[in-house]
Chain A
Amino acid sequence: MSPADRFAALPELLATDQDLLRRGRWLSVEVRVEIGAEPFFLSISEGALKGFERGARLMRSTAFSFAATDEAWTNYWQPMPAPGWHDLFALTKRGVASMNGDLRPLLQNLQYFKDLLALPRGRS
């Protein structure tokens, strides 16, 4: 299963995570996440995924994006990730991930996004 295929399960993973939904209840935002070359568009509403689209969309506007290589996501989602591959900022520091756009909603809800993007961890 490719990293993008694993990420495609995000709606089901979030829907069953009541704690993460609770913590994200103040958050509504449009986000682009790139899994390798494949973009995903997340419409987050009060912490839940109102929309989740896979693949390029012409002129789709988002508040911010988080992109990482297939290698980065593969390592990040290991059940016990290796040192230097275990956190989003570890990935950006080593140059295999980047964040762009208006980062305010990301920083306002940073633990939520870290945990959201870690949901595929250990699941194949």
Chain B
Amino acid sequence: MAPKLDPIVGRYVHAVIEGVPHRLYFEEAGQGIPLVCLHTAGADNRQFRHLLTDPEVTRRFRVLAFDMPWHGKSTPPDGWEKSEYRLTTQSYTAAIRAFCQAMELDKPVVMGCSIGGRIVLNLAIAHASEFRALIALEAADFQQPWYDTTWLHRPDVHGGEVCAALISGLIAPQSPPTSRHETLWMYMQGGPGVFKGDLYFYRVDGDLREKVKTIDTKVCPLYLLTGEYDFSCTPDDTRRTATHIPGAEVTIMKELGHFPMSENPAKFRGYILPVLEKIS
């Protein structure tokens, strides 16, 4: 019997980000318009595996999901052991642009979730002309913090388990248990302090409340989709953000939380396919 294979190919690409060599892991499937997917804080590209195996998507899009530096199977930079990881607006933006350049992508679509959604807003602010369209999932220009991130990295609390337990509440109660626990499993596997380092961008460095007013959706269309059960980035946070961005399209997704693509792939599909249809 022939092996049952996912149509996903995983490879490594070398890219220089802010002068530092990186070896980034990515997975891809499909052909057509490049669609670069950005995972959430403290996670990795596995969150997009259902999108990568959806023929409705991959017949028109070349879907690429890379593990951010320090995440998943991307090799941390040489000397990582001598530093504390901290993501910034500048370093995150540089990583995305470096990946797109290293892969020689021509005006890709970028879709990011959570911190990936926030940085998509910065791409719209600073680099809109480089992209065909931008999709921000669970994104806002600012969100009210709801826990102390110092609990995420200390020797007396298991980092993976506390990260997963904290974010478990952001998953909608209607999401299938298997998808819920697969999403949590990924959170249990982040490197020490990586989730906390990502949230530096989210909480401290990435306040975009003034800058989003400069977004011009005529240069690059912007779509905002947020799950109704996301109490980290609430629907009101997304709606408030959109009021400052003429032309931005907002969708509030019923029975979904902060991880739509992995917590309930079937439900998310119903929301993202129409957006991709418009873009293609």
Binding site for B on A (CB under 8 A): 80-81, 83-84, 86-90, 92-94, 103-104, 107-108, 110-111, 114
Contact B229 A110 (CB under 8 A): no
* Pairs A-B, 7 closest by C-beta atoms: A87-B169, A110-B165, A111-B165, A90-B231, A93-B146, A83-B228, A83-B229
CA distance A80 to B175 in the complex (A): 11
B174 cross-chain contacts in A, Cβ below 8 A: 80
A107 cross-chain contacts in B, Cβ below 8 A: 151, 157, 162
A103 cross-chain contacts in B, Cβ below 8 A: 151
B234 cross-chain contacts in A, Cβ below 8 A: 84
Contact A110 B161 (CB under 8 A): yes
CA distance A107 to B151 in the complex (A): 7
Binding site for A on B (CB under 8 A): 144, 146-147, 151, 156-158, 161-162, 164-166, 168-170, 172-174, 228-229, 231, 234
A81 cross-chain contacts in B, Cβ below 8 A: 173
Can you list 11 pairs linking A and B with CB atoms under 8 Å apart? A80-B173, A80-B174, A86-B172, A89-B166, A89-B231, A90-B169, A92-B146, A93-B146, A104-B157, A108-B158, A110-B165
Q: Contacts A80-B174, A87-B169, A93-B144 known; A111 to B231 CB distance under 8 Å?
A: no
A83, A90, A114, most chain B CB atoms within 10 A: A83
Q: Would you call the interface of chain B mostly helix, strand, loop, or mixed?
A: loop
Of B146, B157, B228, the residue contacting A108 (CB under 8 A) is: B157
A84, A94, A107, most chain B CB atoms within 10 A: A107
Considering only CB atoms, which chain A residue lies closest to B144 in the complex?
A93
Considering only CB atoms, which chain A residue lies closest to B164 in the complex?
A111
Contact A93 B231 (CB under 8 A): yes
Given contacts A84-B231, A87-B170, A94-B231, 6 further A-B contacts (CB under 8 A): A83-B231, A86-B172, A87-B169, A89-B146, A92-B146, A108-B162
A80, A88, A90, A92, most chain B CB atoms within 10 A: A90
Contact A89 B169 (CB under 8 A): yes
Q: Contacts A93-B144, A111-B168, A114-B169 known; A86 to B229 CB distance under 8 Å?
A: yes
CA distance A93 to B229 in the complex (A): 13
B146 cross-chain contacts in A, Cβ below 8 A: 89, 92-93
- Least CB distance, A44 to chain B, in whole angstroms: 17
- Least CB distance, B146 to chain A, in whole angstroms: 4
CA distance A81 to B257 in the complex (A): 13
CA distance A62 to B109 in the complex (A): 53
A84 cross-chain contacts in B, Cβ below 8 A: 231, 234
